[in-house]
């Protein structure tokens, strides 16, 4: 079953972050805790690890886009899932 992962508040008062680079493309496999995306906040560049293993089904935003905390970041599912 697909799992929607939303951008967490990784720092005090974080309101938004910019997608620097996706480490895994849509359709790529990812393991638990492997880096899946690199984001930039006002204070740092941070890698966000995968909260579960699976296949990346959807990126919530393209590289260079700024998204708000709690916005959809990524959808991870099982092999063959759409």
pLDDT band at 13 (very low <50, low <70, confident <90, very high): confident
pLDDT, tens digit (0-9, with 9 covering 90-100), for 22-58: 999 999 999 999 999 999 998 889 999 999 999 999 9
CA dist 48 and 57 (Å) reads: 17
pLDDT computed for residue 80 by the predictor = 86
pLDDT computed for residue 49 by the predictor = 97
pLDDT band at 18 (very low <50, low <70, confident <90, very high): very high
Q: What is the mean pLDDT of the chain?
A: 94
With helix as H, strand as E and coil as C, how does 21-40 read? EECCCCCCEECCCCEEEEEE
Handedness of CA 51, 55, 57, 61 (dihedral sign): positive
């Amino acid at each position: 079953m697909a799992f929607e992962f939303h951008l967490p508040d990784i720092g005090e008062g974080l309101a938004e972050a910019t997608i620097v680079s996706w480490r895994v493309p849509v359709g790529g496999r990812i393991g638990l805790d492997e880096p899946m995306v690199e984001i930039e906040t006002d204070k740092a560049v941070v890698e966000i690890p995968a909260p579960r293993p699976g296949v990346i089904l959807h990126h919530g935003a393209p590289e260079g886009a700024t998204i708000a905390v709690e916005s959809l970041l990524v959808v991870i599912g099982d092999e063959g899932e759409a």
